[in-house]
């Protein structure tokens, strides 16, 4: 009975200890580079969509200025959200270089920063809308 208990504890420790292991520096560098590239692409696409919306709104003769401002506010929010999402992905990729509690804390901080950036973007959008 005692042997079974010890074996169960060893397995539990091995299982828990396997989580949050740091990745190799090469793997982290590759992941960070990939995340940065994807983030850059997402922001560029959001900015491209925003400029299309503004151009489309400016071409309409009867458009109200309020509608154009609301569209611009929405587009600014989308760009800020894309930037925050990209920053989060890069931060999470960097967290993989750490292990254990440091990795968990790093990921928690990345999530907190993302949530704060989202809230700021939403507040800006609301302030800019008319």
Which residues have a Cβ under 8 Å from the Cβ of 113 and sit 6 or more positions away? 84, 87, 88, 91
Tell me, what's the pLDDT at 6? 58
Q: What total number of domains does the chain contain?
A: 1
Tell me, what's the pLDDT at 91? 96
Alpha-carbon span 129 to 109, nearest angstrom: 30
Tell me, what's the pLDDT at 61? 45
Alpha-carbon span 50 to 46, nearest angstrom: 6
Q: Are 65 and 129 in contact (CB under 8 A)?
A: no
- Is 13 a domain residue? no
- Is 103 a domain residue? yes
Alpha-carbon span 122 to 24, nearest angstrom: 37
The DSSP secondary-structure symbol of 22 reads P
Domain of 119 in residue numbering reads as: 22-128
Tokens 């458009």 belong to 63
- Is 37 a domain residue? yes
CA atoms within 13 A on the CB side of 62: 0
- Is 12 a domain residue? no
Tell me, what's the pLDDT at 13? 45
- Is 86 a domain residue? yes
- Is 2 a domain residue? no
- Is 63 a domain residue? yes
CB count in 10 Å sphere of residue 87: 18
Encode burial over 33-70: b for 16+ CB neighbours within 10 A, e otherwise. Answer: eebeeebeebbeebbeebeebeeebeeeeeeeeeebeb
Which residues have a Cβ under 8 Å from the Cβ of 124 and sit 6 or more positions away? 73, 76, 77, 80
- Is 64 a domain residue? yes
Tell me, what's the pLDDT at 58? 56
Tell me, what's the pLDDT at 14? 45
pLDDT beneath 70, residues of the chain = 1-19, 53-66, 68, 130
């Amino acid at each position: 009975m005692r042997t079974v208990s010890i074996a169960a504890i060893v397995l539990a420790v091995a299982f828990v200890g396997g989580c949050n292991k740091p990745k190799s520096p090469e793997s982290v560098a590759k992941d960070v580079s990939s995340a940065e590239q994807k983030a850059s692409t997402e922001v560029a696409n959001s900015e491209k969509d925003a400029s299309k919306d503004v151009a489309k709104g400016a071409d309409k003769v009867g458009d109200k200025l309020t509608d154009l401002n609301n569209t611009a506010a929405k587009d600014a929010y989308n760009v800020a959200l894309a930037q925050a999402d990209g920053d989060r992905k890069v931060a999470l990729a960097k967290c993989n270089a750490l292990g254990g509690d440091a990795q968990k804390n790093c990921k928690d901080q990345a999530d907190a920063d993302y949530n704060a950036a989202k809230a700021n973007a939403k507040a800006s959008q609301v302030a800019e809308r008319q």
